[in-house]
Amino acid sequence: MELRIAVLAGDGIGPEISAVGVEVMNAVCRKFGHKVQYEYAICGADAIDRVGDPFPEETYQTCKNSDAVLFSAVGDPKYDNDPTARVRPEQGLLAMRKRLGLYANIRPVQTFPCLLHKSPLRAELVEGADFLCIRELTGGMYFGEKYQDNDKAWDTNYYSRPEIERILRVAFEYARKRKKHVTVVDKANVLASSRLWRQIAQEMAPQYPDVTTDYMFVDNAAMKMIQEPRFFDVMVTENTFGDILTDEGSVISGSMGLLPSASTGDSTPVFEPIHGSWPQAKGLNIANPLAQVLSVAMLLEHFNLLEEGALVRRAVDASLDAEVRTPEIQVEGGAKYGTREVGRWLVDYIDRA
């Protein structure tokens, strides 16, 4: 297979973990005889500094004309700490999702047996936890009508039937491939938008008689994820709720540096780690690249390269078992490995497989 991949490294630790992702991708393609061509483009604070736009037209065209996007992270403190800034790095991420029509964000939450002790939850609660958070990505308050002055502000949580139907369909189809259980998360006791979500979900559920469908208010879901994470199989929700719940889910594994994601929809899919740009660690060679590497696995699997994706996942598991880990997940007294060293170990494992 021939693949054309747009690489958007972004800000902070992005370039460091992006380099590891590309190296792993190259190793897998060598192993299986695939050809891959990379097109590099700018985004986020880096793009603002260069051209004044966090998602410039040239970057959009690069993404649009590629088979997939391997994205890393955006964000910079000089914008975070300036509430008056009119252009922000995160606007580039929202623009990419909107312009590419990426309405479905798929975030797997899973635990690793050798890292159960790193979870803030007791091992007996998180052992075996394995679920998908499916977040609607291009609607809701993030994209609704907004207003702000010195005395008042509002954000409109707008959703239409087609937007809700298409994301629910994604959730039901994923559930059919897993444990056949969908939990629709909303706030239907308070919000009109949530009542529409629940109404449409109840209309669609009979179309999937092999899937068990239940409904949960978002505050209850937040508690349930901590009390009983193994309850969930596929969780589907709107944009704002999904943003919060997926970050909560990410810490169950013990590190945000372990979890990848995919954003899919009408155009080129994007594969990225769920963590941010961690600017304080920029250039220190301490960032965990495994979420980026697992994003490569999701990319390969998206193109039905299942054996290739499985090899990447085995390499990650083997590195964790061998305690080849960056500092935040290394065992006490374990050998020191940086971002680059973990990457080289993974490439060597794939080459020898």
* Residues with active-site annotation: 142, 187, 219, 243, 247
| The three-state (H, E, C) secondary structure of 290-319, written as one string | HHHHHHHHHHHHHCCCHHHHHHHHHHHHHH
For 166, counting Cβ atoms within 10 Å of its Cβ (0-12 exposed, 13-18 middle, 19+ buried), the class is: middle
Structure tokens at 87: 């252009």
Q: Would you call 18 helix, strand, or coil by DSSP?
A: helix
Structure tokens at 276: 């941010």
> How many residues are recorded in the chain?
353
Cα 157–104–270 angle (5° rounding)? 125
Backbone angles phi, psi at 101, to 5 degrees: 65, 35
Neighbours of 141 (CB within 10 A): 17
CB–CB of 58/9 below 8 Å? no
Cα–Cα dist 232/326, whole Å: 29
Alpha helices in the chain (DSSP H): 14-32, 44-51, 57-64, 77-80, 89-99, 123-126, 161-176, 192-204, 218-227, 239-250, 290-302, 306-321, 339-352
Cα–Cα dist 62/70, whole Å: 12
Backbone angles phi, psi at 196, to 5 degrees: -65, -45
Cα–Cα dist 116/110, whole Å: 11
Strand order across the beta sheet in which 104-110 lies: 35-40, 2-10, 68-73, 270-273, 260-264, 104-110, 130-136, 234-237, 181-186, 212-217
